[in-house]
């Protein structure tokens, strides 16, 4: 199992036409948890991996988590920014915990922010503890 940081920019990204902010993702975790997200590359994700959602604003923090439930699949090889999608299930309880006590950018030891990257071992301990996993 691997853990990944997935970057969401509420000022740019949308989920079903709504801003991709931490309140929207929390609500979806309870009402419609099965989602699919764009990837620029396959990233060797597998079912059982986790996606930790890093929101770029208004605060830079992780405030939601999901389990990967399917391997990434190619959608549009001609579009390098959105070539793949991955199916996930948002986790309501852990997302509630993170929503109430998010993990800051400093705690994640993030350097350059990319759309998807692996979680560093030190940051994983903090994420798991805050999410109650």
Q: Which of 1, 3, 5, 15 is nearest to 116 (CA)?
A: 5
Res 126: pLDDT: 96
Q: What is the pLDDT of residues 41-100, one digit of tens each?
A: 777 899 999 999 999 989 899 999 999 999 999 887 777 667 889 999 999 999 999 999
Res 39: pLDDT: 85
CATH of 3-131, one of 1.10.3720.10, 3.10.20.30, 3.90.15.10, 3.10.590.10: 3.10.590.10
Q: What is the mean pLDDT of the chain?
A: 90
Answer with the residue of higher pLDDT: 12 or 125.
Answer: 125
Answer whether the bond into residue 58 is a cis peptide, omega within 30°: yes
Using CB atoms within 10 A of its CB, is residue 126 exposed (0-12), middle (13-18) or buried (19+)? middle
Distance CA 15, CA 21 (A): 9
Distance CA 98, CA 83 (A): 29
């Amino acid at each position: 199992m691997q853990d990944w940081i997935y970057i969401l920019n509420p000022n740019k990204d949308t989920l079903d036409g709504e801003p991709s902010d931490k309140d929207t993702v929390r609500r979806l975790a309870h009402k419609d948890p099965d989602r699919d997200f764009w990837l620029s590359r396959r990233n060797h994700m597998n079912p059982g991996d986790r996606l930790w959602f890093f929101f770029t604003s208004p605060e830079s923090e992780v405030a939601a988590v999901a389990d990967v439930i399917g391997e990434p699949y190619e959608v549009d090889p001609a579009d390098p920014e959105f070539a793949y999608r991955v199916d996930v299930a948002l986790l309501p309880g852990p997302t509630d915990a993170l929503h109430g006590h998010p993990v800051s950018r400093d705690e994640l030891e993030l350097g350059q922010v990319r759309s998807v990257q692996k979680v560093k071992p030190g940051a994983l301990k903090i994420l798991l503890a805050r999410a109650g996993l």
